[in-house]
């Protein structure tokens, strides 16, 4: 896993992952940014997301580990083929085994789907480390554990990027992992 600093809506990867909520209401954070960059009109991307959720999941919400795929629209200009929506845990500053397991499911669900779709490169934001209030260091360490394990048996995925938005988060992430590799 490579940790990079940047804006995921500008990032070049075949799949980008959205830190969504269970209803795919992309009201804030990276979800809003992705919806805006993809469709221009955020409400239009919410509509597309909900329609795909109904088709792909058969419900109007997703559980941790379930994912919904939407088309990249304007993000195709960055080489993006798929946007994969996954839902991480709400922490509100707390962290325990249950939150960690839910985050693992969210990351793994997106990795599995991307691998199934034949994706070679995938970029994640720090799921749950924003509005959902999970400690960034724990989120980053969980990412590394899941990705390191998954990459051993992935069929198509060659590179996984964790894209941190701020300089401060990037520094914290690198420190939490004891350096980039
Ligand atoms: N590129 C990369 N990372 C970003 C970007 C960006 N353009 N914008 C924000 N981040 P959050 P959550 C970082 O709050 O905690 C939404 O309303 C941000 O700094 O987007 O999983 C959803 O609809 C943070 O480190 O997601 C849900 O309701 C990380 O992305 C809820 O927020 C995740 O922050 C999900 O909360």
Q: What's the rounded mean pLDDT across residues 119-123?
A: 98
For residue 168, what pLDDT is reported?
A: 97
User: pLDDT-derived band of residue 159, with 50, 70 and 90 as boundaries?
Assistant: very high
Q: How far, in Å, CA of 140 to CA of 5, rounded?
A: 13
pLDDT at 127: 99
Please state, in angstroms and rounded to a whole number, the distance separating the CA atoms of residues 83 and 14. Answer: 9
Say if pTM beats, i.e. exceeds, 0.90. Answer: yes
- What are 71-105's pLDDT values in tens digits? 999 999 999 999 999 999 999 999 999 999 999 99
Say if residues 83 and 69 touch (Cβ distance below 8 Å): yes
Average pLDDT over the chain, rounded to whole?
Answer: 97
pLDDT band for position 179 (cuts 50, 70, 90): confident
Spacing, Cα 127 to ligand 1 middle (Å): 7
**pLDDT score for 61:** 98
Q: Is the CB of 89 under 6 A from ligand 1?
A: no
Q: Where are the beta strands (DSSP E) in the chain?
A: 2-5, 15-20, 68-70, 82-87, 121-124, 159-164
Confidence at residue 71, expressed as pLDDT on a 0 to 100 scale: 98
The pair of structure tokens assigned to 132 is 């959902």
Nearest CA to ligand 1 atom 7: 7
**pLDDT interval class at 180 (50, 70, 90):** low
In contact, 85 and 49? CB cutoff 8 Å: yes
- The reported pLDDT for the residue numbered 24 is 98
Alpha-carbon separation of residue 141 from 51, 116, 135, 179 (angstroms): 34, 25, 10, 12
Does ligand 1 have an atom closer than 6 angstroms to the CB of 30?
Answer: yes
Greatest CA separation found in the chain? 42
Beta-carbon contacts of 128 under 8 Å, excluding residues fewer than 6 positions away, are 19, 88, 89, 90, 91, 99, 103, 106, 134, 139
């Amino acid at each position: 896993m490579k940790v990079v600093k940047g804006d995921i809506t500008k990032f070049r990867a075949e799949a980008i992952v959205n830190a969504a909520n269970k209803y795919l209401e992309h009201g804030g954070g990276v979800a809003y940014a992705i919806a805006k960059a993809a469709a221009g009109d955020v409400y239009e991307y919410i509509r597309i997301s909900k329609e795909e959720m109904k088709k792909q999941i058969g419900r109007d919400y997703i559980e941790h580990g379930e994912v919904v795929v939407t088309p990249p629209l304007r993000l195709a200009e960055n080489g993006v083929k798929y946007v994969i929506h996954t839902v991480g845990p709400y922490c509100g500053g707390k962290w325990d085994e249950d939150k960690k397991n839910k985050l693992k499911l969210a990351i793994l669900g997106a990795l599995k789907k991307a691998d199934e779709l034949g994706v070679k490169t995938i970029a994640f934001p720090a799921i749950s480390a924003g509005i959902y209030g999970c400690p960034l260091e724990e989120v980053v360490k969980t990412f590394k554990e899941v990705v390191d394990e998954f990459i051993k048996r992935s069929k198509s995925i060659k590179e996984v990027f964790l894209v941190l938005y701020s300089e401060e988060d990037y520094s914290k992430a690198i420190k939490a992992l004891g350096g980039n590799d």
